[in-house]
Structure 1
Amino acid sequence: MATLLHIDSSALPFGSTSRDVTQAFKENWLAQHPEGTVVYRDLGAQPVPHLDAAGISAGFSDPATHNDEQKAAMALRDELATELENADVILIGAPMYNLTIPSTLKAWLDQVVIMGRTAGENSTLAGKPAVVVASRGGAYGPGTPREGADFAATFLEKALTDFFQLEVHVIIPELTLAKVNPAMAELIPLSEASREQALAQAAGKAKELAARVAGA
């Protein structure tokens, strides 16, 4: 039975482009795998704790030596890591907040980077496909005034590839603030086109990966 791990990190419960696009992916995934499993984490609504001293020290010490605080911290890290390991495909909604990813998503990432297990040369996640929906309010592509200032999509792609050895696919709907920022009103048609393209890419990628998992 195919399993999709779906993670959203937008602080907005409604009106979120990243949520809309991940939802499109999930719906198309389930159309191909109606009996499949979707494990969902909404980091905007239910954030995980930031990695603290107990969690860090527990990750680099013998479990037999852990105190109660370390045991509790490592139990959470193990739960989150196991969700990743059990997934056939990983889907992450990652809106850009102030040039990078939401702090809630960074907190989750810090928890699941466990050296010698999920992270490192022999990562238990190596080769798994991951789809990142990296929405952003403006435009940061080649030739734009803010070219090179995207530290959300670029960061996630690097982190997921280097730490976990995942096969990363990035979908970028941009200019999402055009409808709410009067100064960007003339960009609304481009914003709408980017959104529709992202929805189509999500649908196509979901069908592609669902077929691959089914044939594995």
Structure 2
Amino acid sequence: MKNILHIISSARGEQSYSNKLSSFILERLLQQGNINKITVRDLIKNTPPHADEVSIHEFYKHPALYDEQSQQLLSYANMIVNEVREADIIIIGTPMFNLGISTPLKAWLDQLIRMGITYVFDEHWDRVGQFKGKKVYLAVASGGKRAEGAPDYISAYLKDVFRNYTGITDVETYRIEGTMENGFTADYESILKDFGTANELF
């Protein structure tokens, strides 16, 4: 039985294409069965805190050095770490903002990634991710369309972060593009037409 963590990061609510696409992915997983628990983390309704002059030092402490102040300042970070740790499947919906991910999603990542928690260093001083064996689905929406051969900034960035700082290497991207075009109609079924075949063994 699998646990799912669904991350929502668009401020457009019910009008958000990334929210709808990520919800369609969730529905497909539910149709496949074998789901134990679904946790929804809405980064708009509960915005992640940004690091400040006081809290930034706690993110670079070794966990063995945490004190009572550390636990207070890292309460949100500890909560989302536990959500990711418990999840087998993570669905992340994000719009494209200026070629990057949404601001709340970046803040969530900054709270999540911590030395000694999501990754450690081995004897060769190489990073070793601590959350291996999980699956991540990215649901990305953009108002325009990428030109052929153009870089995929969002997928590349998120894949690198998860691989290097959590050990998660199985990251799959689904996209909905051109949402600002006149007469645009979303076709989520077409976007996910191969979803069952590609993911039935996970």
* Same fold per superposition (TM over 0.5): yes
Give the superposition deviation at 1:35.
Answer: 5.4
- Structure 2 gap ranges (5+): 121-126
Q: What amino acid sits opposite 1:85 in the alignment?
A: R
* TM-score of the two chains, using structure 2 as the length reference: 0.83
Q: Which has the higher strand share?
A: 2
Q: What amino acid sits opposite 1:27 in the alignment?
A: E
Give the Cα–Cα distance (whole angstroms) in 2 for the partners of residues 75 and 109 of structure 1.
Answer: 15
1:165 partner SS: coil
The answer to whether the 8 A contact 1:30-1:36 is kept is no
Percent identity (aligned): 27
After superposition, give the CA deviation of every residue in 1:158-205 in whole Å (9 maximum; x if it has no partner): 2222222211111111111114xxxxx5xx4xx646x4432435x437
* Aligned twin of 1:24: 24
1:173 partner SS: strand
* Aligned twin of 2:128: 122
In the alignment, structure 1 residue 170 sits paired with structure 2 residue 150: no
Q: Which has the higher helix share?
A: 1
Q: How does 1:1-216 map to 2 (within 5 A)?
A: 1-33=1-33, 36-59=36-59, 60-61=61-62, 66=67, 68=69, 70-120=70-120, 121-142=127-148, 147-148=150-151, 150-166=152-168, 167-179=170-182, 188=184, 192=186, 195-201=188-194, 203-204=195-196, 208=199, 211-212=201-202
Give the Cα–Cα distance (whole angstroms) in 1 for the partners of residues 110 and 66 of structure 2.
Answer: 22
Change (3 A) 1:160 1:61: closer
- Size of the aligned set, in residue pairs, is 194
Give the Cα–Cα distance (whole angstroms) in 1 for the partners of residues 68 and 52 of structure 2.
Answer: 14
Q: What amino acid sits opposite 1:163 in the alignment?
A: Y
The answer to whether the 8 A contact 1:8-1:43 is kept is yes
1:53 partner SS: coil
Give the Cα–Cα distance (whole angstroms) in 2 for the partners of residues 152 and 65 of structure 1.
Answer: 33
After superposition, give the CA deviation of every residue in 1:99-128 in whole Å (9 maximum; x if it has no partner): 211110000000000112213433221231
Change (3 A) 1:142 1:107: same
The answer to whether the 8 A contact 2:3-2:35 is kept is no
When structure 1 is superposed on structure 2, of 4-13 and 163-172 the one drifting more is 163-172
Give the Cα–Cα distance (whole angstroms) in 1 for the partners of residues 176 and 44 of structure 2.
Answer: 19
Change (3 A) 1:44 1:79: same
Give the superposition deviation at 1:4.
Answer: 0.3
2:116 partner SS: coil
Give the Cα–Cα distance (whole angstroms) in 1 for the partners of residues 66 and 114 of structure 2.
Answer: 18
